[in-house]
Structure 1
Amino acid sequence: MSTSNAAAQRQQKWKSLIFPMLTVFIGFFIFGFSENVKGPAIPRIQSDFFLDEMQIGTLLSLNSLGYLLACSFTGLLIHKWGVRWISIASFVLMALTGVLMFYSTTYSTLSGSYFLMYVGNGMLEIALAVLGAQIFVRNTGTMMNLAHFFYGLSSIVAPMLATGLMRVSIGGHVLDWRGMYLIVLMLSLIPVIPALLGRFTPPASEDTVERISIKQFMRDPVIWMLVIILSFGVISEMAVGGWLVNYLEKAYQWNSTAASGMLSAFFLCFTLARLLLGPITDKIGYTLSLIILAGFSAASTFVAILAGEPGAFLFALAGVGIAPVYPTVMALIADRYRGNSDTAISFIVTLMGVGSMLGNYAIGAIITGIRKLFEQGDNAQLGLLRGLQAGYGFIGVCALVCSLASVVLYLYLKRRKELL
């Protein structure tokens, strides 16, 4: 009798997790689309509005401000209204920005639309991370990487989907980047369905955990190390979606299809890493995994730049190393701050948003500055090449800093016998 009761309880628990898990998995799948269709779109946006690389970098940085603001208040909203309604609100907001982007005719209206899209992305990232921390209480590294695998899965398709949609003609009108964004962002309404159907209640065990205030978090050295690791890791990860296509088209004169194909190859490596390496991070430990994987990504990026066009495949291979960084940090947070993960995630990801904003600006500034330095007389192409190499090299530097900061965290936790 007791065995049947236990089996019934397990079945009931599994049923209660189905819709929250679908919300997380589908949410990350849509998130991957919204974030990574911009690679093929940016050169077209740049052409339509006559923007230089510095203005593109500024556009991405200023719009990251929306992401930063969302991260700063989403944790409070989740605490007040619950993770279900905040997830739904973020999905609806992202769909709305697709409509606004479709009608953008000036740089200002485009910036406003991007800003709101990043607000939705920021809200969604916090909501999905908090929900994942609540429901993935066993094999956390594996499950976090699996959840983020869906982000990578859609990211593989996103560049090619964007390129294809921008060429579609409906009634004699080419969709271009505006129509592409409208279609892609309207997909955000799909995960609203499981979000409405599911029950989103934190585990009962979290009710017995003492809540930690922001001030207490700020006195924890581990939090600040995680901020550095995640900030530089995410800059290195996210910058690829915004700059790789641009780099290949302008440095090596690749066509849009070939450049987008390489970005898709990056996300293929990225996705497979999240699918396959999760159990390894659980086995060898989160911190050691961060050291090895981020270091591999940095090395691949540097060698790709130095090798020139024959080494372009290494840009894609770098995805193997950088992919597990974000979910592994989220798993570390979930295990170390169980019961306080919502506050920890909001605090860390908010500061990470600052780093991401500055990172995009820095890449654009580096490309423009180095380009002007080398662009003399008939050396316009050489100046552009050196600028792009320096800017993309910064992406590798960020991965290297992520790895080195993980070494510091490893030594600190090992000394205190708190390794995870």
Structure 2
Amino acid sequence: MRKIGSYNGNTEDTTLELQHAQTPSEKRSFSFNYALLLAVVFGGFLVFGFSENVKGPAIPRMQAEFGLDEFQLGLLLSLNSLGYLIACSFTGLLTRKIGIKWTGIAAFGSMFISGILMYLSVNYATLSASYFLMYIGNGMLEIGLAIMAARIFTRNTGTMMNLSHFFYGLSSTVAPIIAASMMGWHLFGGEFGWRGMYLAMLALSLLPIIPSLLGRFPDEQRAQESTEHLPMRKIAKDPIAWLIVLVLSCGVVSEMAVGSWLVNYLEKAYGWTNESASGMLSLFFLFFMLSRLFLGPVTDRIGYTLSVLIFSAFSGVCSLVAIGVGEGGAILFALAGVGIAPIYPTVMAVLAKRYPQGTDTAITFTVTLMGVGSVVGNLLIGAIIDWTRALFSSGEGAEQSRILGLQAGYGFIAIMALLCSAFCVILYRKLKARNELV
């Protein structure tokens, strides 16, 4: 499928490969530099996956230590998503001011500092502040890595975007198991706990700084000139851009909520141990990881828009059926990862292809507004759990009303995946009518 319209641009002749493939010595230099850039992108996604998904096993322990209810947890995650949103709003500008290299280094550094502050947190306020800083770093990293990938991967974009995000899935797969194990370690006569675990995991953020310092990134001036061809106000007037925001927001809320709420759901609804629930979350991310590894070429073959439509619907149906079946269908929670995994990288591929002369601006616009959806989504999940439990507490037993609340909250996660598919149906029809399918 090919796109046609005012946003077209030929990016094939600007690939990094062609820019640096003129002589044998330049080829060798390019190969080494390209390897460094891949190390930054792939390593960045590895760190991103760890930082995002160790919280599943840690949240119940944080909740117990600080005496938090589900609404406070939802508020915590929403306020932290606000930090992510703020970072998204300024990172595009920051990349034009100091360059993508130093923006990435700043993101990695802030994540490491947040790990130190998290270790030292003494109450809900200081925990929220340290989490807020971590999400600032995550937001900067999210935009930075997306811009890096869009500049580098101009061929087979869907495949390469999904391969990059495969590394996020890889670390996400092992993160819950590693986190649950690390929290039980004993060091210097005391338990490692969630504090030590976070400090150790976020210290990994220092590693991608090394290839960042050594690597030579795509020409910053050329990238800046490209973004000037498509100002933010022009994207904001494009109805397709808003549909893409809705698609991505619903998909990402559903994706990220699993890491935050699945362990909590399995422990409280089914009485699973932390280790067993963390194992199921890891299985979710195993499917998630394999999906990004193997389904990337599928997106290039059948089209990015149609791919998102199909995959998100599959994820939503799996989660709803899992809730309806009960504990015996818990494996479907994990299987939902197959469908939800390709959504984010495939939408990034849509942006790179639809806005080739303003990808940085398009990514900033889309991901920033997606952050708004994440703030609202996390807040709603916690609120729905509490509201449902309170609604049925008079007519049901305490245990039954708690289970109903958890089911309602997780049902909202599934509905968000289905809404992602529904908005994608509209997007598909509009793009097809304009002969602009990607």
Task: Give the TM-score range, shorter chain.
Answer: over 0.9
- In structure 1, the residue matched to 2:263 is 245
Show the counterpart of 1:193.
Answer: 210
Q: Cα deviations across residues 43-68 of structure 1 (Å, max 9, x unaligned)?
A: 00000011100110011001111000
Residue 134 of structure 1 contacts residue 202 of structure 1 at CA under 8 Å; is this kept in 2? no
> How big is the shift at 1:376?
2.5
Match of 1:388 among 391, 402, 406: 406
1:174 and 2:191 matched? yes
Q: 2:61 — aligned with what?
A: 44
Using the alignment, how far apart are the partners of 2:423 and 2:389 within structure 1?
30
Among 349, 352, 360, the alignment partner of 1:331 is: 349
Within a 5 Å distance, the mapping from 1:9-24 to structure 2 comes to 10-24=27-41
Retained in 2: the 8 A contact 1:267–1:319?
Answer: yes
- Pair 1:155-2:160 in alignment: no
The residue that corresponds to 1:136 in the other structure is: 153
Say if 2:430 is the partner of 1:376: no
SS of 1:314's equivalent in the other structure is helix
* Deviations, residues 22-44 of structure 1 (Å, cap 9, x unaligned): 10000000100000000000000
Distance 1:205 1:117, change over 3 A: closer
2:176 alignment partner AA? P
Counterpart code for 1:80: K
Q: Does the residue aligned with 2:301 lie in a helix, a strand or coil?
A: helix
SS in 2 for 1:338: coil
Residue 237 of structure 1 aligns with an amino acid whose one-letter code is: E
- Which residue of structure 2 lines up, in the alignment, with residue 272 of structure 1? 290
TM superposition shift of 1:16: 3.0
Secondary structure in 2 matching 1:167: coil
Where in structure 1 are there 5+ consecutive unaligned residues?
none
Instruction: Tell me if 1:293 matches 2:293.
Output: no
Q: Deviations over 1:325-376 (max 9, x none)?
A: 0000001111111131111111110000000010000000000000111123
CA contact (8 A) 1:206 1:338 kept: no
Alignment pair present for 1:414 and 2:435: no
Q: Which moved more, 1:336-345 or 1:360-369?
A: 336-345
CA displacement at 1:8 relative to structure 2: 5.9
Determine the structure 2 residue equivalent to 1:320.
Answer: 338
1:69-118 CA distance string (max 9 Å, x none): 00000000001111000000000100000000000011110000000000
Which residue of structure 2 lines up, in the alignment, with residue 352 of structure 1? 370
* Counterpart residue number, 1:305: 323
* Contact 2:99/2:220 (<8 A) preserved: no
**RMSD after superposition:** 1.5
Amino acid at match of 1:61: S
> What amino acid does structure 2 have at the position aligned with 1:52?
D
1:71 pairs, out of 58, 67, 88, with 88
- Provide Cα deviations, 1:197-237, integer angstroms capped at 9, x if missing partner: 00012499867746211110111111101100010000000
The whole-number CA distance in structure 1 between the counterparts of 2:340 and 2:327 is 21
CA contact (8 A) 1:135 1:203 kept: no
Describe the shift of the 1:96–1:132 C-alpha distance in structure 2 as closer, same or farther (beyond 3 A).
Answer: same
* Cα distance between partner residues in 1 of 2:308 and 2:22: 42
> Kindly tell me: are residues 53 and 243 of structure 1, through their superposed partners in 2, closer, same or farther at Cα, counting changes over 3 Å?
same
Tell me which residue corresponds to 1:35. 52
Q: Distance in 2 between matches of 1:230 and 1:103?
A: 35
**Any conservation in 2 of the 1:16–1:198 contact (CA below 8 Å)?**
yes
Report if aligned partners of 2:152, 2:218 keep a CA contact under 8 Å in 1.
no
Amino acid at match of 2:200: I
State the identity as a percent.
58
Is 1:91 equivalent to 2:111 in the alignment?
no
Deviation at 1:317, TM superposition (A): 0.2
Residue matched to 1:104: 121
C-alpha contact (below 8 Å) 1:207/1:339 kept by paired residues? no
How far apart are the structure 2 equivalents of 1:203 and 1:79? 7
Deviation digits for residues 244-300 of structure 1 (CA, Å, limit 9, x no counterpart): 000000000000110000000000000000000000000000000011000000100
Residue type of the alignment partner of 1:268: L
Report the secondary structure of 2:436's partner residue: coil
Paired letter, 1:22 = A
What is the TM-score normalised by the length of structure 2? 0.93
- Describe the shift of the 1:379–1:203 C-alpha distance in structure 2 as closer, same or farther (beyond 3 A): same
Q: Distance in 1 between matches of 2:355 and 2:30?
A: 23
1:127 is aligned to 144
CA distance in 2, matches of 1:297, 1:14: 38
Partners of 1:43 and 1:298 in 2: CA distance: 25
